[in-house]
Amino acid sequence: MSKVTSRTVFVGLDYHAESVQVCVLSGEGKMLANHSCRNDWRAVATAVREKCGPGTEVQAAIESCCGAADLADELIAQARWSVDLAHPGYVARIKQSPDKTDFSDARLLADLERVGYLPRVWLAPEEVRELRRLVRYRQTLTKERKNLKLQIGATLREARQKPPTELNPWTKAWLDWLTNRTELSPNARLIVRQRLNRLAALATEIRAAERLLAQQTEHDPLVQKLLTFPGIGLVTAVTLRAEIGRFDRFRTGKQLARFCGL
């Protein structure tokens, strides 16, 4: 009985919302396929299997972008591929060419994976990506809250309304002054009232998001460890967990600081 040996192919995936350009290279760099297929892990896996046959080991690369991590996860779990996420900025610098087509982009990713020069980024597990979604959702709510407060302040300046100096902004007493004692035109008062109503709704939504964050990280050892440090509360802890994921993927504190843009 002859020994069956599997061969390795290198796959570059140029990701789009509706389709994926799939380039397959042999170990020697020969192009075996380069065409578009439906954005679905089954379609992608089938496209490669039809060209290479069953039992072929696949090492794939895909640029990190919205949705790419989910496809990578599916190919790893369902198709048993090895998939690396590529840093799009570094890939663009390596290319150094104005020619940008799905065909050439997929080919470049496959070739970088083949020769070992792919600029990799960390593929966060699904639970971390889900936590990121919730953290970033809360961030959008807090940004909206900030903008509403700035807009109310602008309305007051336009109306030349100055609160009493003894009142701190956004306290109950300050809100009472804003609601009952300011001299505003009918339209300005309507706008302020609507914005105050939205602020109240946002406060409810933010609290609900924070309760979910607390529930989902209740048994997360990293979050619970971070909460023991002075000055770190729930929001800071879960944000660090979501955006950094694992601290041990950085060799030094300087690397972590650069990742955070500091």
Q: Which amino acid is at 260?
A: C
75 and 185 co-located in one domain: no
CB 121 within 8 A of CB 62: no
How far is the C-alpha of 44 from the C-alpha of 28, rounded, in Å?
22
Structure confidence at residue 74 as a pLDDT band (50, 70, 90): very high
For the chain, the maximum distance between any two Cα atoms, rounded to a whole number of angstroms, is 94
> Do 70 and 133 form a contact (C-beta atoms < 8 A)?
no
**pLDDT (mean) for 226-251:** 94
Q: What per-residue confidence (pLDDT) applies to 6?
A: 56
Domain that holds residue 207: 126-259
Tokens (6 digits) for 141: 């709510």
Identify whether residues 161 and 234 lie together within a single domain. yes
pLDDT given for residue 186 in this prediction:
95
Q: Is the pLDDT of residue 177 over 80?
A: yes
Q: Using CA of residue 190, residue 195, residue 196, residue 197, what is the dihedral sign?
A: positive
pLDDT in tens, 224-237: 999 999 999 999 99
Model confidence at 259, pLDDT cuts 50, 70, 90, reads confident
Whether 31 and 76 map to the same domain: the answer is yes
pLDDT in tens, 5-37: 458 999 999 999 999 999 999 999 999 999 999
Q: How far is CA 22 from CA 11, 145, 184, 213, in A?
A: 7, 43, 61, 37
- At 60, which CATH number? 3.30.420.40
Question: For the residues 126-147, what does the mean pLDDT come to?
Answer: 96
Residues 145 and 116 in one domain: no
Are residues 115 and 30 both part of a single domain? Answer: yes
